[in-house]
Amino acid sequence: MLNRRETLKAALLGSGVALLPARLGAAPVAAFQSAPVRWIDGAAPALQPGQTFGVAWPRGAVKRGTALSVTARDGTPVPSQGWTTASWPDGSIKWSAHAIPADIAPDGLSVTRGRPAMPARPVRVTESVDAVTISVGDLQWRIGKSGAALVQQASVAGRAVLGPVTLIGAARTEPLHGADLPFAGQIERVTVEQTGPVRAVVKIEGAHVSGERRWLPFVVRLYAYAGSSGLRMVHSVVFDGTASKDFISALGVRASVPVKDAALHDRHVRFATDAQFFAEGVRPLTGLRRDPGMAFKAAQVAGRAVPPLDTMAKAVRATLERIPAWGDFRLEQPTANGWAITKRTAPEQGWIDADEGRRAPGLAYVGSPQGGAALGVRYFWQRHPTALHIDGATGDAAALTAWLWSLEAAAMDMRPYHGTMGMERFDAQNEGLSVTYEDYEPGWDDAAGIARTSELMLWAFPSTPDSALLQGLATMQAAPPQLMVAPAHLHAAQVFGDWGLPDRSTPNRAAIENQLSNLVDFYAGEVDRRAWYGFWNHGDVMHTYDSDRHRWRYDIGGFAWDNSELSPDLWLWYQVLRTGDAKTWRFAEAMTRHTGEVDVYHSGRFKGMGTRHGVQHWSDSSKQPRVSNASYRRPFYYLTADERVGDLLHDLITSDQTLTTVEIGRKVPNAAKKPALPAGTIEMTFGTTWCPLAAAWLTEWERTGDVRWRDRVTAGLDSIGRLPKGWMTGSAPFDLASGRFLDQGRGIQFSHLNAVFGAVEVSSELIRLLDVPRYRAAWLDYCRWYNAPQGAYLAKFGAPLGPRNLREGHSRLTAYAAFAEKDAALATRAADEFLSGDAGLGTWPSDPRHRVDGVLEWPGVSTNASAQWGLAAIQNLALVPEALDRATIIAPDAPGRRRQGDAGRD
């Protein structure tokens, strides 16, 4: 077995050997090693919009204040900008973030010690009383501090090429036939978060206004990178309306583009599509009965100014005014599998069909040889109904609008999907829970407070770019390139607990690694096969399959949308950490964007809570921290330094206060009478409530250095360790002021959910970071005894044994105890539990027998068990690989193999 020094050396050299975690607890200071960084797609992209990525460092390896720089493979400095995003307890850098310009895409990067190189044309930020100006070379963005215009103007070399950029939309009081009431964004606060030299970040906060009403609060961040003609826009909006009377019928971003200085035939409209690029003139010069001359046609198609009109064929020059000019264009994407372009000459004229296809990448341009602008929307077809509109192209200024919810679509309907159905009382509600797995209570199926974050790109050009460049930009923004630090370096830094690099060195390890890949392929494929798309749905997956109907249980209570149940987010991110795989990254990223926004309340009475799985993402009445879980966001935040996710993590640090008014366990069938609680306390489970909160407090401490959050975590760790039954107590009164659990002399209470919402992962991190021996002992006891054989358990504790579930997933608890205590018998038990198929992965998605009408089907599959299998596989491979080698992997569907069990609920 590799010792720690050999392990670290092999990791940093990129060895293919599967590496075991280092000794639990404090580790010696590591020597500095440069961090290799790679593009997740395997090669440098043709275009990239500017990059930000995170790098983890071993404890003590990079002292606070150390300058870090980016270099190319040959050691050439790459312009970069760096900052610290997290620190170790000794003050050394744990995570750093780095940005590089947009006009370079080097391969084989490294982050090392040294002063960062400056870009040739640095980003510069200046502030005045009423505006923030970002300069990127000759391009200037003027950002408003008040009013409606986020961007007041963009100019190139002093010439305005873009007018006001605003947030717009409309709502109605009745979903089908109500009158649309327009609203527009109004700025309330502007903060400059970074000032260059490689990137600048401006945060704009406000709300939408309709008459006297201010609602739909928004946060928009604008990112400018050196070498880029674009602004990245991260647009977040919170729905704080009333679902029964606020039906949003449009939501978008509009840019005004001046075109008055260009003749109609020199005005250009462009749409990126998944087929032929749509490139036309407002007044077309091609296809006419009379030929204006090749130079004129070629110039218009290329987006250049046409030659002087006195050189045009006279028959065309004399009749230019007889050629219709097209003022309005629409690209509508009403579903994930169809778009159409239409156009008209004027508002009072009819629409003409122009083109159609399947999945548009989401970019439109309007402008002229004197300048223009493009808007791009990420997840354009995945988040339908979307649209790109160009209006008024024949006037002085064209309006270029990216609709995040198209005004041509039916209005959003966020009302509950069913009525009370006689379930006013808890006994009837429990009956509903028993048959549909839905935890329902009138009034708790409320969408008010959920959010959605969208990503856009806004470009300002001095003239119309050629179509190849615009198509390239569309491809780039639809699937943005991403840099990621090498998995071996991440592993050597000992972040995120216990995991190892891929290892196919033995038949059993190879089989498990293959299955980990199969699982990602299966679910990523299901997203497309089952069309898990739409503005509110994209990024989530379904909970359980219905093998009778041959579809997922989209309409059956708690079996529908998964909403992070049993940590699929974590499974995907741990697979990213160990592989750096692009498909897994983008799958996990979309899920993080969804679950952290749509499944969580950002305002209102449920603020800080997430919603349990259901037919609608907000329909279940169980509102819990296990869904708003900070553990699910941390990997994405640290790998990308994404400010929006950073905000979401920060917002969770006081979410325990919501538990004083929101009861999260009120209707469990046959629940015992709740014990009386001392003043200032709330009942709190260790794994489904405290561990998610502890992850938020840990993150706040790491990011800010504020020891109040360290002390709050330590208080919880110590007080759990002091309970007579330790972690096996399961739940106890939690004192909100001190952060400590109170001892009421309770006995053992196991819950099959307590350890499957990030408790395993965050406990491993906390044990390494903080010296709290009592907690470590309590956690190891829980790990040893949760899955213990009946005879051993009864001999130790006596009756009752209590219920168990998810034995396969909980095998990673046994593996943890085996590794920590160097117990070979426990390691063998962990391998047997993992490979048992007991309440876990009972069949293999790669098996060709599982097909219905040629489409892959996985009978009985549930996402929660799949996620737990994936996490258990990763941890067992890391902690007890030799025991897995000795075990027998049961063939798929072998006699006696148990299928997945019902994961149940608290």
| Per-residue model confidence as pLDDT tens digits over 406-429 | 999 999 999 999 999 999 999 999
Using DSSP, state whether 746 is helix, strand or coil. coil
Other CB atoms within 10 Å distance of the CB of residue 791: 9
Structure tokens at 581: 């795989």
Mention every residue, 6+ apart, whose C-beta is less than 8 A from residue 508: 884, 885, 887, 889
Q: Is 195 left (phi over 0), alpha (psi -120 to 50) or beta?
A: alpha
Structure confidence at residue 673 (pLDDT): 67
What angle is formed at CA 641 by the lines to CA 635 and CA 645, rounded to 5 degrees?
70
| Per-residue model confidence as pLDDT tens digits over 217-267 | 999 999 999 999 999 999 999 999 999 999 999 999 999 999 999 999 999
Give the span between the Cα atoms of 125 and 137, in whole angstroms.
Answer: 12
Output the pTM of the full model: 0.94
Structure confidence at residue 22 (pLDDT): 37
**Quick check: 502 pLDDT over 60?**
yes
Using DSSP, state whether 600 is helix, strand or coil. strand
Structure confidence at residue 669 (pLDDT): 52
Query: The tokens 């899955």 sit on which residue?
Result: 787
| Per-residue model confidence as pLDDT tens digits over 507-565 | 999 999 999 998 999 899 999 999 999 999 999 999 999 988 889 999 999 999 999 99
Please provide the size of the chain in residues. 906
User: Average pLDDT, stretch 865-875?
Assistant: 95
| Per-residue model confidence as pLDDT tens digits over 291-300 | 999 999 999 9
Letter for the amino acid at 750?
A: F
Using DSSP, state whether 515 is helix, strand or coil. helix
Structure confidence at residue 859 (pLDDT): 54
Query: The tokens 């087929």 sit on which residue?
Result: 275
Q: What 8-state DSSP symbol labels residue 862?
A: B
Q: What 8-state DSSP symbol labels residue 449?
A: T
Q: Is 280 exposed, middle or buried (0-12, 13-18, 19+ CB in 10 A)?
A: buried
User: Average pLDDT, stretch 134-154?
Assistant: 98
Contact 361, 478 (CB under 8 A): yes
**Radius of gyration, alpha carbons of the chain:** 29
What are the b/e assignments for 207-246, b being 16+ CB within 10 Å? bbbeeeeebbbbbbbbbbbbbbbbbbbbbbbbbbbebeeb
DSSP string, 778-795: HHHHHHHHTT--HHHHHH
Structure confidence at residue 897 (pLDDT): 37
